[in-house]
Amino acid sequence: MQVDQSLNCIGLSCPMPIIKLNKAIKSMESGEVLEMIGSDPGSKSDVPAWCNKTGNIFLEQTEDNGAFKFYIKKQ
């Protein structure tokens, strides 16, 4: 998967990862993919819910050594 922008949210707690995600996605072009890396377990439900609410496309979620990676395509 080609990632156009990466956002590091490790160490941030709710609601900061979603606030930063929202700001980052606004600066991107339609069709671009954002990789968000976070450590807040709440993000596992927050990110897909945010995508659903905003119309952006939740592509994938992975987990590696306590870090969660989310891939979102801007609508």
* Residues noted as catalytic: 14
Q: Where are the beta strands (DSSP E) in the chain?
A: 5-9, 33-38, 57-64, 67-73
Query: What is the chain's alpha carbon radius of gyration, rounded to the nearest angstrom?
Result: 11
